[in-house]
Amino acid sequence: MDYKSVAKYVLDNIGGESNIQSVTHCATRLRFRLKDESKVDENALNNSDDIIQAFSKGGQYQVIIGTEVPKVYNELVSDSKIDEGGEEHKETGNLVSRFFNTISGIFTPLLPALAGAGILRGLLLLMSQLGWMDEKSGTYVILSAASMSVFYFLPIMLAFTSALRFKVNPYIAAVIGASLIHPDLIELLGNSGNGTMTSFLGIPVILMNYSSTVIPAILAIWVYSYLERILEKYIWKSVQIIFVPLISLVIIVPITVMVFGPFGVYVGEGIANAINWLSETNGWITGLLVGGIWNVFVVFGLQWAVNPIMISNISTLGFDKIVPLTAAANFGMAGAAFAVLLKTKNKRMKSFSLSALLSIFFAGITEPAIYGVGMKLKRPFVGALIGGALGGAYIGGTGVKSFAFVFGGLTTLPAFVGSTFVHYVIGLAICFVAGTIATYILGFEDPVSNNQQEGNVLTTEENLQKEPLQEDNEVVSPLAGEVRQLKDVNDGVFSEGILGEGIAIIPREGKLYAPASGELSTLFPTKHAYGITTSNGTELLVHVGINTVELDGEYFEAFVEQGDKVEKGQLLAEFDIEKISENYKVTTPILLTNPEGYDIEIIKTSGDVNSGDILFKIEKK
């Protein structure tokens, strides 16, 4: 991928730099806040080979690139004045979408650290259980510190990323987070643990251990974001550097310890306990539901509401039972992608499904498979849900545990090493095989098959194997619309018969069918013009629109390739009439381009016509 070119292409079709309020990215997609989404050329974005999908959701415009999105993002912002992830403008979308966007923005920067630490933790557990490393050795302790520090100091890191999200001073935020796990505060707990009482200015305070917690730090910085803006509004700029942090620390830290901290801990523990209770009560049903629905969560961004619970479980309990179920969903999706890889005859889809499959295996990232394979072909997505549900039921029923927060893939297997590891591997195998079989049985409309009409599905390869086409002197309408004589076409090349004789149609729908049977001898790269050589030697040209070559293929989608054998009435292409009509005439000439030696009889010279109606007849002289 040429990252610079892709970045420029996205920028050009997103409405330009001036249309962007801010941009950030997650593991696979660019997330834009735009001033005017009507300026986006969505067709152009979705027709690019380098873009998986582009769409608007929850007040954001998202462009899915795949795992190489960080490099595209860097090119996008390197030579521009685009706000990198800034959220100074007011969040848009409903309350639910804003909540998920916020959680996503807070946790996304930490995912590499969480994933790396999780793998290291899994490897240490594996080496310890195999007897390759003593848990009391200096080597083990040092590496263990490296693997667990991200969880222990999670309040500091979350405070920092929350500050970036809420657009406040991240270093003061980090101090607030650090104060929650200061040794002196922890020492007040003594041996009594959570619930120990102390006081602040005579006000009773319930002490908690905030190391590894999630909610308290986020709540603290959210409130701090409002306080900082108020203080900066009323304190002289010359002394803000002293009094803004001073007052913020004096107010936010005590309030957090007295209110947000206990509230966050109790809420987090309550949610975690509820999910863990459900897993213990009936792990089979829990696994079936979570494994089956998780990929739907990913589509709507709902996974960000559950990720903090998994992280909290690992931080406080040392393990989690939801992470394995998300891995089940991943491998169900991998099975679906594998089935598409085996079954599709479309070279581009075969290549992409392989790339999406490897993305899951090696990075545990499913978005390329979900959007580029599952959602695009529809039925494979259902197959993936079936695979994830069946394997998830087994994983949940056997009580599989994860000892680190990771994305489910082959490289993260060490994070699951323990007494349930074998069941985890068996469960993933069930997911993968079930997802593959379900997708293979359900089938899908292969993109190659689009070169046929509905109900007459043939691949290009099958077309080439067909018997020679019979001679036919009738040319039918390739479009539904209104007939116009060539002399009325507002282009001298057509109206003066320079390219040949024939008729023109003003289409009313954006579907183009073959006017005769023969070989597709010409297909312009811009997809606006199609030449057919029939079995009796006549050469036909269908030219969609006037001067539409200038669109360079935008708003056109061809379902055939040059050299294909095509049948009369076969769907050749689709095009967006409304978009094209904004700047171009969609009048479409249908011409006999080698009239020498042939007589042409025009049957339809005016009025409405449907695709398949006879336009003219051709006879040899």
* Beta-bridge partners for 205: 198
Measured CA to CA, the distance from residue 273 to residue 305 in angstroms comes to: 16
Mark residue 343 as left, alpha or beta (left: phi above 0; alpha: psi -120 to 50; beta: remaining): alpha
Q: Which class for 238: exposed (0-12), middle (13-18), buried (19 or more C-beta within 10 A)?
A: exposed
CB 373 within 8 A of CB 408: no
Using CA atoms of 151, 153, 159, 161 in order, give the dihedral in degrees to the nearest 10: -60
Q: Which residues are catalytic?
A: 26, 543
**Considering only CA atoms, which of 283, 202, 217 is closest in space to residue 256?**
217
Count of other CB atoms within 10 angstroms of residue 277: 10
**3-state DSSP of 266-280:** HHHHHHHHHHHHHHH
Measured CA to CA, the distance from residue 272 to residue 309 in angstroms comes to: 6
Helix (H, G, I), strand (E, B) or coil at 199: strand
CB 472 within 8 A of CB 452: no
SS3 percent helix, strand, coil of the chain, rounded to 5, is 55, 15, 30
Q: Which residues contact 149 (CB under 8 A, 6 or more apart)?
A: 117
**DSSP 8-state class, residue 407:** -
Position 506, amino acid: I
Query: The tokens of 518 are what?
Result: 């023969």
Measured CA to CA, the distance from residue 356 to residue 117 in angstroms comes to: 24
Q: Which class for 338: exposed (0-12), middle (13-18), buried (19 or more C-beta within 10 A)?
A: buried
CB 329 within 8 A of CB 294: yes
CA distances from 562 to 238, 295, 485, 524 (A): 71, 38, 28, 9
**DSSP 8-state class, residue 583:** T
Query: The tokens of 401 are what?
Result: 């545990």
